Amino acid sequence: MVITVPFLDDGSGSNSIMTQEQKDWLLAIVDCDQPKMTRMLNQHPELAVWKTSINGYTALHYAAKYGDCAAIRLLLGNYHVQVDAQTCEGMTPLHLAAANGNEDVIILLTSVYKARTDIRDFCGRLPSAYLPKEKHWTTEEQNCKSSIQPSFDILTTSTNSR
């Protein structure tokens, strides 16, 4: 896998080349390498909130996108990152989980970590707008169909008031 994220957001308003540590962190995140993530966070806890300047993704955004519930529990449970952090496009981890149809992540973020379902991205879309409109079910998936849709309904019927 080739990762082409040449810059980082160091909070100073200027872009600089990613350090090797940040490259390793990004690879650990996208590979869902839980042991490596844990080791790196133990040494450098600030990586939990590090985000790329290209898209503004944090580790939590990648975990939501790739359906990595273990990483989500690690980041939100141990490092208390912001569950509703927004990317450069205004997307929260919940937007990314919905866009990728990651039902377990949707349930985890909304039920356990109280992710807000009413945050709009910069295009004005709620997370529910990214849910798959239609799923083409294989024979094996047909048996699971009834258990999947209720988890998506959390986004369309839930009203968080924070």
pTM score, whole prediction:
0.75
CATH of the domain at 86: 1.25.40.20
Domain containing residue 100: 7-157
123-144 in b/e burial notation, b at 16+ Cβ within 10 A?
A: eebbbbbbbeeeeeeeeeeeee
Q: Is residue 84 part of a domain?
A: yes
Q: Is residue 1 part of a domain?
A: no
Give, for all 162 residues of the chain, the pLDDT tens digit. Answer: 434 444 444 454 445 578 899 999 999 999 989 999 999 999 999 999 999 878 999 999 999 999 999 999 999 999 999 999 999 999 999 999 999 999 999 999 999 999 999 999 999 999 999 988 765 444 343 433 444 455 556 666 654 444
Cα separation of 26 and 91, whole Å? 19
Say what angle helices 20-30 and 34-43 make with each other, to 10 degrees: 150
Q: Is residue 50 part of a domain?
A: yes
What is the chain's Cα-based Rg?
A: 16
Domain count, the chain: 1
Cα separation of 145 and 123, whole Å? 30
